[in-house]
Amino acid sequence: MTCDEVEVLLHALLDGELDAGHAREVEAHIAGCPGCARQLAAYRDMRAAMAGADLHYQAPAQLRRRIEQALPARAVISTPSRRSLLRGFAFGSVLSGALAAGLVMVVLRDDRDQRIVGDVVSAHVRSLQAEHLTDVQSTSQHTVKPWFNGRIDVAPPVVELTTQGFTLIGGRLDVLDGKAVGALVYKRRGHVINLFVLQASGADRFAPKAEMAQGFNLRRWSSGGLEFWAVSDINGEELQEFETKFADAARAGV
Amino acid sequence: MTGAMRADEDGGRAGRFRALALPHLDDVYTLARYLLGSAADADDAVQECYLRAYRHFDTYRGPQIKPWLFAILRNVCHSARARAASAPQPAGSMAEDIDEAAVPVWNETPETPESAIVRRHDADTIRNLVAGLPSPFREVIVLREIDDLSYREIADVVGVPVGTVMSRLARARAMLRTAWLAADGKEPQ
């Protein structure tokens, strides 16, 4: 790696944007190059000086009031329709398309998981708000499963868990990370659980992972080349129970 | 669907917008101040931004609303600038068409001796240093250092590839550092 390359990449290193391999390469170069080491130290110092000063401005109270008053208490514009939601997806993919041109981005850290966490929560919230919880409404796996056939690349395994405390409500199509995916909808004592099923990103299985985002519990696991993301407002233990029961039943091929 | 139900849902829409977008008002205002300079211009731009954002709330799909608001604000600022273009304006202050390829990054700080550590300054001095950067560079510095956006989010807001964000940020920091050291009375040698 040359000094000219490091001159640019050290910023990505400072910002925590480099993937592990390139971070090691840049660090190795810096360890043997006093000039680049000084640069890194100097920029780190400048960042610290900026972080130490409050560079934000505060919006005037008047402005806040004006905006709040301009927003209707009861608007006249219609609720998001299916079509307007799709327009939103298009907006997203235009933005992502702009990224494809970047050559240097191949060395940057993959923040796919972060994006999916955000998408999973948005999709969950949308499913509750836009009264578009299900495209196919049925408590029978024999109705829900075939509905997905031909609609998406990855047909999710569908299992009935009613006797185990999770009632199948139906399924729908949704979008995660710019791709159409199947979503299964379950209920637990009136609480909705959305389960998104997508093609696993890597060949590896990974350990189940629990996360919280915007007040919702998320649980993610992999099985049989598929990746599962469950999201709900039920507590973490119950969501884990859901994972176990779903995974067991799906494995048994019930 | 009855009219009453529709009205309730619309009220919910405004409520959702309030809950999601209004907490970021200070951040949006901060970006407007750095992009436009004057407090009065920033006021107008931020108000217009929120009204546009509300009108197009249907197209917001997450995950983060802040970069989405920033992208709208940026468009508003461009329109404001285009309107003001007929009026006389300090040359180059808002120039977007700087040839970034013409000057390599490493021209600004060829060698930085260890002694050239930047002096700590109060917020106003640093704000002025940032304000002195040409617009495309000022923008990435503000989005990265003050708003703490990731490269990808900056790329989405500005509408350029992630690689461009990285090289632009490298140049912006080099320029800022040169200006900072000059303010300290030091040469970046």
- CA dihedral (A90, A96, A100, A102) in degrees, to 10, reads 150
For position A104, what pLDDT does the model report? 39
Q: How far is B133 from chain A (nearest CA, A)?
A: 15
Sign, CA torsion A114/A16/B126/B83: negative
Give the structural domain span for B160: 105-183
- Give the predicted TM-score (pTM) of the model: 0.55
Please indicate if any CB of chain A lies within 8 Å of the CB of B61: yes
- Does B152 fall in a domain? yes
pLDDT tens for residues B132-177?
A: 999 999 999 999 999 989 998 899 899 888 889 999 999 999 999 9
**Is ipTM > 0.85 here?**
no
Q: Chain A to chain B, count of Cβ pairs less than 8 Å apart?
A: 203
Whether B42 maps to a domain, the answer reads: yes
Read off the pLDDT band of B87 (50, 70, 90).
low
Please judge whether A56 and B30 are an interchain contact, meaning their C-beta atoms are less than 8 angstroms apart: yes
Q: Which residues of A touch B113 (CB under 8 A)?
A: 38
Q: What is the pairing mode between strands A216-223 and A226-232?
A: antiparallel
Residues A114, A118, A119, A123: is their CA dihedral positive or negative? positive
**Host H or E run for residue A216:** strand A216-223
- Quote the minimal CA–CA distance from A165 to chain B in Å: 31
| Spatial distance between the Cα atoms of B32 and A200, rounded to a whole number of angstroms | 41
- Domain boundary (B14, B49, B84) is at B84
Nearest residue to B170 (alpha-carbon basis) of A198, A36, A201: A36
pLDDT of A215: 77
Give me the pLDDT at residue A106, please.
40
Asked if the Cβ–Cβ distance from A84 to B59 is below 8 Å, we say: yes
Assess B178–A contact: CB distance below 8 Å, yes or no.
Answer: no
Q: What's the helix, strand, coil split of chain A in %, to 5?
A: 45, 20, 30
The verdict on residue B96 lying in a domain is: no
State the burial class of residue A131 (Cβ atoms within 10 Å of its Cβ: 0-12, 13-18, 19+).
exposed
Q: Are strands A226-232 and A209-213 parallel, antiparallel or unpaired?
A: unpaired
User: Which candidate from A41, A71, A81 shows the least CB-CB separation from B18?
Assistant: A71
B99 domain residue, yes or no: no
Query: Nearest CA of chain B to the CA of A18: how many Å?
Result: 10
pLDDT category of residue B69 using cuts at 50, 70 and 90 = very high
Model confidence pLDDT, tens digit, residues B91-102: 444 444 444 444
Class of domain A112-252: alpha beta
Residue of B nearest to A90 (CA): B59
Q: Is residue B122 very low, low, confident or very high in pLDDT (cuts 50, 70, 90)?
A: confident
Confidence at residue A32, expressed as pLDDT on a 0 to 100 scale:
95
With respect to residue B168, please indicate whether it lies within any of the assigned structural domains: yes
Q: Which residues of A touch B23 (CB under 8 A)?
A: none
Evaluate whether the domain defined by A1-77 bears CATH number 1.10.10.1320.
yes
Residues 63..82 of B with a Cβ closer than 8 Å to A: which?
Answer: 63-64
Q: Where are the beta strands (DSSP E) in chain B?
A: none
A62 or B109, greater pLDDT = A62
